[in-house]
Amino acid sequence: MGASGWDYVVAYQDDVAAALRELRARAFAEGDYYWPGEPSARPATPEQLWEDEAVQYSGTHSILDVDRVVAADEAGESGTVGVLDPDEFLAGSGIPYLTRAVFEQAQEGDGLLPERWSGYAVVLYSETGRPVEIAFWGLSGD
């Protein structure tokens, strides 16, 4: 099947790890992940999902494949989400705030690609500099 890129944007909160936990719970509840079995036989819990041998091997091709928030310089380890500094993301661009529009435009180009089985997160701001969202993106699956 190969790896899949995925991305999500959620409302801002101070705790990126809590936002990741909530996003993972939402993705599971909504069935927003690869499931190799019959649609009617989706697992009732995340634990049941990971008991499936195909999922253990190929992952879910979603945010469910990462579960730990780390500093940007620790990103790339399997299962991690590295939190990027928005200023570093914008370095040299002359743009004062990393807005959702700027982020989406960057992602349409080459973007910042994580190592397989990991991801990144970055805070997105309003035009006036107020934090409004957190973007998560990554690459996972076999």
Specify the pTM: 0.92
Residue 123: which domain range? 4-140
Residue 18 φ then ψ, to 5°: -65, -40
**Residue 122 β-bridge partners:** 135
Per-residue pLDDT in tens (0 to 9) along the chain, 142 residues: 578 899 999 999 999 999 999 999 999 999 999 999 888 899 999 999 999 999 999 999 999 999 999 998 898 899 999 999 988 878 778 888 999 999 998 888 766 778 999 999 999 999 999 999 999 999 998 7
d(CA 133, CA 112): 18
Tokens linked to 59? 């992952």
DSSP state string for 73-103: GGTTSTTEEEEPPHHHHHTTS--SS--HHHH
The number of domains in the chain is 1
